[in-house]
Structure 1
Amino acid sequence: MTENERVRELRKTLGLTLEKFGERLGVKKNAISAIENGRNSLTDQMTKAICREFGVDYIWLTTGEGEMFVDTDDDFIERIDRIMAGEDEARKNLFKFMLELSDEDIAALDRLMKKAIRFSKGEIDE
């Protein structure tokens, strides 16, 4: 995956349109589109702006290694804020749903997710 493709992946992960993503960086949507489509290369200045604005790991954006986001509690909270301010209703609804779950519901969901992961790794028979 190229840097340009990682920019698209990031924007979609954040649930932002080209226009909203560009606004946060001080550029127009056609500039972001040109980067995502490989017509323009990602400048070092734009790379740093993306990392700063969206809490993206510089190494991930430039090489593809590691995780997309810098992982701290503050960054996690900022990511949630960006999702809630974005346009992806499905992501927003997932967070709203999670807030309504009881401790028992969360524990059950955790068990289900762990079982699904084991199943996908072939550790559990169908």
Structure 2
Amino acid sequence: MNINERFRDIRKLCDMSQEQLGNILGLSRSGVSEIESGRRNVTDKHIRLLTIDSINGKFINEEWLRTGKGEPFKPLTRAQSITDFAADIIKEDDSFKARLIEALSKLSEDDWKVLEGIAEKLADNKKD
């Protein structure tokens, strides 16, 4: 698989149209089509724009895009995973998860220590 094919695969894995990807790259839909078909080269600028920030919550692995080595996406950091989870909960509004997170956000530091103790006891019981 060459870089143009990986470029196309990234667009599809990010669930984007050629027009949407073109908006990120400053290209027209036909410009993206030309890259995907191999009639136009992927430039360093394109790669930089694709890998500098997340696209639909995914961080593209520059090495994979350039060489095919590794996985298409970088694993999320702990903070990114938490942020994604929170963003999904915000969209749900009145779900149990949203109500639970809201309740947790109101805990005092002492409440968090109590909750940590309960979680540790549950984990210990699970080991037995």
Same structural fold, with TM-score higher than 0.5 when normalized by the shorter chain: yes
Segments of 4+ in structure 1 off by > 4 A? Answer: 75-78
Q: Work out whether 1:36 is the aligned partner of 2:40.
A: no
CA 1:16–1:39 in 2, change beyond 3 Å: closer, same or farther? same
Map 1:1-126 to 2 at 5 A: 1-53=1-53, 54=55, 55-73=59-77, 74=80
- Counterpart Cα distance in 1 of 2:13 and 2:82: 14
Conserved 8 A contact 2:6-2:65: yes
The root-mean-square deviation of aligned C-alpha atoms, in Å, is 2.7
* Unaligned segments of structure 1, at least 5 residues: 85-95, 101-126
Cα drift, residue 26 of structure 1: 2.1
Cα distance in 2, alignment partners of residues 11 and 28 from structure 1: 14
Q: Measured at CA, do residues 58 and 12 of structure 1 come closer, stay the same or move farther in structure 2, by a change above 3 Å?
A: same
Q: Per-residue deviation at 1:25?
A: 2.1
Q: Determine helix, strand or coil for the equivalent of 2:13.
A: helix
Instruction: Determine which structure has greater relative contact order: mean sequence separation of CA pairs < 8 Å that are 6+ residues apart, divided by chain length.
Output: 1
Distance 1:61 1:21, change over 3 A: same
Higher-Rg structure is 2
Q: How many residues align?
A: 83
- Give 1:71 shift: 1.1
